[in-house]
Structure 1
Amino acid sequence: MNYSLCVNEIFDSIDGEGKKAGQLATFIRLCGCNLRCSYCDTAYAFNEGQHMDIADIIAQVSYPNVTLTGGEPLCQDIHALLEGLKGHSVNIETNGSMDIEPYFKYDHVWFTVDYKSLSSDMANRMLPENFEKLRPQDVLKFVVGDEADLRQALGVYRLYRPKCAVYVGAVFGKIEPRRIVEFMKENRLTDWHMQLQLHKFIWNPDDRGV
């Protein structure tokens, strides 16, 4: 078990998307990622960071809600960190390519799992088993940039019929959010949640640590 992690940044903000959007959370952004999405907005986390002891990371947690993000947080051994965060609600934002089941043993941990869109150029890297295993407390997320991405999201949804909430949002600046709503209406997707990245409307879209 690893008792230190390579950390890009730790900051307090509101959750910008997902089922706790608008709530205060402490974000722990870990270094490294196994994918290279075309629309990635956190490429600075691929290599920038410093090794921190688990205790020092936990000491910077301010709120009951914690979001582990990246990069790709599952590229590192996060078991010791999750053990130390018991008593918090921990959302792991993961890219859909790495096995999530080893972390199901933690009752305080839930997942926001991306299914990478065609326009990301990483759709072929998805791990199908992840989408079969999603639990009611988890989230399936689609980030779409065009019509082909919307059709792909619908196909994935119909294939897996996930037990969890489904959220869909736009690649920032690539597709009008209203088009996503129209698509939901056209296909009667009454259990989808349209989302906007709140932090990119509150702050400059290029700002870090928000």
Structure 2
Amino acid sequence: MKLPVKTAGPVIGVVSGLVGLGVGFGLGALARQPEINALQKQVRKLQKKNHELKLVVQEQNDELAELLLRYQSLKAWQLLQKKSLKNDIKERFIIQYGMHDYFSLMLDRLETGRDFQDKETAFYAAFSRMLDDKRLSEEQEERIRSYVLGKHAREVRAMSQCDVSLDIDLINAVEFDERKERERGFGPLKFWKQRSGASEQDVVAH
């Protein structure tokens, strides 16, 4: 089954050309600093698109919520319709959780400087390609699906929504210490994960 990439269309329209293909991969110390520099530029660009990105994510959340209500309203005897709609919803969840994982990897790479594991690299490359509005091969779609389900199979089966707007808030909250970046190559990033009325655990938990 093909991923419903078209459902991410509005987000792709906002971030296409910003994420960059192949950036942020764990390729060792020699490649680390250029990658970090490129990721910092991406984050700054995403911060400028923060409001627009949150709007399209909210629209997608609302659309998915409507599909869930439609699914719940179907009667037991409408078996074929329920099965088809359930599959569609689950595939949309893979895109939603994939976006959460993508932004989480981006922020983790910046915060810790750690190299990506092989599965993370393959997922990040494929999802970067999707967000850059490039055609995905069946193998790349499978990399996205297997990575996301490996982390969120329970949530996808339960059809539990993931609010990517929280990840966008974290991206928007990144502050760069320019002086320390010059002195140390890249300085520690500060994340304000507290939102009004929410603890850090509330923000990072999905």
Q: Which has the higher contact order (CA 8 A, sep 6+)?
A: 2
Write 1 or 2 for the structure with the bigger share of helix.
2
TM-score w.r.t. length of structure 2: 0.25
TM-score w.r.t. length of structure 1: 0.24
Larger Rg: 2
